[in-house]
Amino acid sequence: MGLTWKQRVFTALLGAAAVSGLTALLLILVGTINVLLPPDTKFGIVFDAGSSHTSLFVYQWPANKENDTGVVSQALACQAEGPGISSYASDPARVGESLQGCLEEALALIPKAKHHETPMFLGATAGMRLLSHKNRSQAEDVFAAVSRALSQSPADFRGAELLTGQDEGAFGWITVNYVLGLLLKYSFSGEWIQPLEETLVGALDMGGASTQITFVPGGPILDKTTQATFRLYGTDHTVYTHSYLCFGRDQALSRLLVELVQASPGLLVRHPCYHSGYRDTLALAPLYDSPCIPAAAPLDLSQNLTVEGTGSPGACIEALRKLFNFSSCDGRADCAFAGVYQPPVQGQFYAFSNFYYTFHYLNLTSRPTLSEANATVWEFCLQPWKLVEASAPPGQDRWLRDYCASGLYILTLLVEGYGFSEETWAGLEFRQQAGGTDIGWTLGYMLNLTNLIPAEAPAQGWAQSFSIWTAGVVFVVLTLVATLGAVAVHVFWLQD
């Protein structure tokens, strides 16, 4: 006896469901290919503990790296509350509190699952170098307090250390050249390439307590103590670098003031680098509180000092020159000042930190000639104090009196110290950022650190072409429709 027409419909729907289901399964099995998934992202946290303040930076890079070095980008910049960590020497327990706000901001940015594998480092620069010279025990207490506070974080704390001046200069050089795309660049063909070494630029950094110069010289480096070598993206780099402690902006201007105090008969000091009409009373004791001050302190440090500005740029330069000891380099072409070896400067340089802050205020960051820069600073120094105050933008009260002195100090350092001429001055750029990234030693440190973090092989996954995926979806839908149809026939027709 043959099948009824209802049974034939039921059988056909079951067959269609079986065929379309098998077809969908074959498409899934045969059409799937093995692919590399996008690399995971790594993060790193670096504290820059400078002499006047502490900044935190968060960096990120793909886990698979490029020639053993991470392709790093800045994800966060945060300035911690309060002064530099060396200011907590008498109360180190408070130093950890000053870092917590920025640390919490960094951990909120980094996925929680990655906290334990995120390296975190605090590098202290010239402010802590000075404290170590002055009172090693206090410096150790500050570092211990920082370590206690940061080790409680879920991040992988790698320590709090005193960065050498040479490392600070070298890492700053790495940062500048990296963000300018001069160490590694993504080509139009979709490949990472390394530009020619001739395009590398020099780095000039100035903090509150020290200043650094770093560049690739035109010949061999004769004094190996000024040489730094490192390997990035499979290439070795050798640079000249030197750090001058006590020649940062704040310490240099403090030394200048003490020189003027020593030369004054009483407690009234006529300051040629302060604008005419400026007058202030200062406590005498803090001036002699730094290891950078070689002069013997007066017997009575409880007295106050009265300072009057005379607005004399010529006399200011003469006073500034006494800070450098240029005579120790007489007759030597490869000497900067204080008997320090330096090859002749060449090529392009990026000047940042206090170089930039001073010249930005003086409107000298748009590539003026050396003559124009000199004329601008002199004209500013000759302005009376009342005019300077009236024309100053908001928020400049703290530094306003010192822009004349720091402008002339920078010109003296660059021209008479480092040896920039009218011709080589054309290669100088004053910048706070490059490529949207803050310039300083921290990014260079993180790039160097990524050499020590093992690369991860790209994760593998399964994928299909769009056409095969579409066909698979169609046959899955047909399978569901045929199956539901067969169920409906069985329930509502065959049971009649």
Q: What are phi and psi of 185, to 5 degrees?
A: -140, 145
Contact 428, 215 (CB under 8 A): no
| Three-class SS state of 59 | strand
Residue found by looking up tokens 């003296």 in the block? 412
Q: Please indicate if the annotation marks 464 as binding a ligand.
A: no
Which stretches within 322-397 are classed as H helix? Answer: 354-361, 370-381, 385-391
Separation CA 34–CA 227 (nearest Å): 48
Running DSSP on this structure, what letter comes out for residue 414?
I
CA dist., res. 223 & res. 491, Å (int) = 95
Q: Which of 66, 168, 259, 429 is catalytic?
A: 168
Closest alpha carbon to 58 in 93, 113, 2, 106: 106
User: What own/partner pairs with CB < 8 Å and gap ≥ 24 does 366-374 have?
Assistant: 367/426, 367/428, 367/429, 369/422, 369/425, 369/426, 370/415, 370/420, 370/421, 370/422, 370/425, 371/422, 373/411, 373/425, 374/411
Distance in angstroms (rounded) separating the CA atoms of residues 230 and 3: 85
Residue with tokens 């600073």: 377
Query: Tokens 């049971």 belong to which residue?
Result: 495
DSSP secondary structure letter of residue 274:
S
> Residue 209 annotated as binding?
yes
How far apart CA 36 and CA 463 sit, in angstroms, is 10
Query: Which H or E run includes 224?
Result: none
Q: Based on the residue annotation, tell me whether 259 is a catalytic residue of this protein.
A: no
Distance CA 358, CA 352 (A): 10
| Residue 208 marked in a binding site | yes
Would the annotation count 87 as a binding residue? no
DSSP 199-221: G--EEEEE-SSEEEEEE--SS--
Binding residue positions: 208-212
Binding residue positions for ATP: 208-212
Which residues are tagged catalytic?
Answer: 168
